[in-house]
């Protein structure tokens, strides 16, 4: 119900104030971005994104309180996972061919 | 260089003794399974899978010592990540609509 794509989209909505713009900066179609937002809003007890479908200028959108909270939880989750597995990542990297040791750079 | 697909494929090779069979049980073509194994063997300093291309009966394959170690590291990494993020997963689940609370079951 929440993965990297949706989390990035939420962050994009927060930063751009627009679902279309958030999707665009991820190379996502307007339709796809809206569909993901609708999925998230349907999956959570409270909607994560509030929006007004706009006219000529396009609609405005922002995160709800629940959206802010979910996004913060997601980033905290990522950070804790990354910290927890750092030793294993380092061990795996040490087993790679020298030139291929770019796993932790996987961003 | 290692993700769920490749790790599952390694586990499949370990369990079936065959790259083709390991791929098959993941719904993967023979060609795709071989290509992933070749990628892994090329990425790591020591190959993870040793194999003999077989005749009529198909080749046999097994994990090398490096393969066993990498797979163990990967599973330890998953386990530590899952443990580390359990509180955030629980918090996120609590924000979902009741019927959708299946995030931790995502297996």
B86 and chain A in contact, CB less than 8 A: no
Q: How many CB atoms lie within 10 A of CB B42?
A: 11
Q: Which of B1, B4, B91 to mutate to test the interface with A (most CBs of A within 10 A)?
A: B1
Contact A81 B84 (CB under 8 A): yes
Question: What is the tally of structural domains in chain B?
Answer: 1
Q: Let me know if residue A78 belongs to a domain.
A: yes
| Distance between B55 CA and the closest CA of chain A, angstroms | 32
Whether the complex's predicted ipTM surpasses the cut of 0.85: no
Nearest to A85 among B66, B80, B103 (CB): B80
Residue B21 has pLDDT above 70, yes or no: yes
Q: Let me know if residue B87 belongs to a domain.
A: yes
Contact A46 B95 (CB under 8 A): yes
Q: Which domain holds residue A9?
A: 4-100
CA distances from A37 to A20, A27, A49, A61, A68 (A): 11, 15, 7, 11, 14
Domain with residue B62: its CATH number is 1.10.10.10
Q: Let me know if residue B45 belongs to a domain.
A: yes
Q: Let me know if residue A106 belongs to a domain.
A: no
The pLDDT tens digits of the residues spanning A1-48 come to 688 899 999 999 999 999 999 999 999 999 999 999 999 999 999 999
Residue A103 has pLDDT above 80, yes or no: no
More confident residue, B54 or B61: B61
- Alpha-carbon distance of B13 to B22, in angstroms, equals 5
Nearest to B1 among A44, A88, A103 (CB): A103
Length of chain B measured in residues:
107
Residues of chain B with Cβ-Cβ distance to A43 below 8 Å are: 96-97, 100
Q: Let me know if residue B90 belongs to a domain.
A: yes
- Alpha-carbon distance of A11 to A4, in angstroms, equals 10
pLDDT above 70 covers a percentage of chain B that reads: 85
Q: Let me know if residue A41 belongs to a domain.
A: yes
- Alpha-carbon distance of A85 to B10, in angstroms, equals 20
Confidence of residue B4 (pLDDT cuts 50, 70, 90): confident
Length of chain A measured in residues:
107
Q: Are B9 and B23 in contact (CB under 8 A)?
A: yes
Q: Let me know if residue B74 belongs to a domain.
A: yes
List the Cα angle A2/A7/A13 in 5-degree steps: 130
Can you tell me which residue has the tokens 């769920």?
A: B4
Q: Let me know if residue B107 belongs to a domain.
A: no
């Amino acid at each position: 119900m929440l993965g990297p794509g949706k989390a990035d989209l939420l962050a994009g909505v927060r930063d751009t104030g627009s679902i279309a713009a958030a999707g665009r900066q991820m190379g996502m179609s307007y339709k796809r971005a809206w569909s993901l937002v609708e999925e998230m809003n349907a999956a959570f007890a409270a909607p994560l994104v509030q929006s007004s479908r706009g006219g000529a200028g396009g609609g405005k959108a922002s995160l709800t309180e629940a959206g802010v909270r979910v996004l913060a939880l997601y980033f905290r989750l990522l950070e804790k996972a990354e910290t927890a597995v750092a030793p294993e990542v380092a061990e795996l990297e040490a087993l790679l061919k020298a030139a291929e040791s770019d796993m932790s750079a996987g961003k």
